[in-house]
Structure 1
Amino acid sequence: MRLEQCEAAIKEKKNEMIKLGMTKGLQNEETICCSQELDKLLNDYHRLLLDDNHSKPLNPYVDFFSIFTKHVHRILSIPYRSFFI
């Protein structure tokens, strides 16, 4: 799986989990299962980032943590207005 495909799968799974959580509750078995699937996708994404960073040399002035944080934050950021619609 490529980074772009993984990002799309994470966004889709995140939206599914939000819908399940809002309709069935956070303690529902389906919601928990979806959350675990999202965790697996995030772990896969992290592995892809590590592989990608090992194949291309990092700029010595940019540390890995800032790159990783930027990517994860971009994927997981939820617009505040979606909670009020």
Structure 2
Amino acid sequence: MKPADLEMAIKKKRAEMIKLGMEKGLSFHETIKCSQELDMLLNDYNLILIETEQTNPMDVYHEFLIFLQKSIFRSLHIGYNSIFPVLQYGN
């Protein structure tokens, strides 16, 4: 599969997983299965990136984890900055 095709599949699977998680819960079997399918797509995508040396594969995971954290905090109505406060420098 081409990187562009995988990127599209990842976006669709990510949206599906978030929808399932918000509607049925994060521990629902369909949500978990969708998450595992997303993991496989991300692994395939990272393998292609490593093979073609296009980018740092961890960037994809890092961006996804930040997105997932913000989505979860938003769904739980917890402020992201209350969990990860921004450091104030100066007075």
Same fold (TM over 0.5): yes
TM-score (norm. length: structure 2): 0.64
**Between Structure 1 and Structure 2, how many residues are aligned?**
72
Q: Does 1:17 align with 2:6?
A: no
Q: Which runs of 4+ in 1 moved over 6 A?
A: none
Distance 2:17 2:50 in 1: 26
Per-residue CA deviation, residues 4-57 of structure 1 (Å, 9 max, x unaligned), is 11111111100000000000001101000000000100110111111112xx8x
Give the match's secondary structure for 1:15: helix
Q: Give the aligned residue type for 2:20.
A: L
Q: Please give the alpha-carbon distance, in whole angstroms, between the structure 2 residues aligned to 1:71 and 1:34.
A: 18
Q: What is the alpha-carbon root mean square deviation over aligned residues? A: 2.6
1:47 is the counterpart of 2:47: yes
Q: Which residue, out of 59, 72, 81, partners 1:70? A: 59
Aligned pair in 2 of structure 1 residues 70, 47: CA closer, same or farther (>3 Å)? same
Identity among equivalent pairs (%): 46
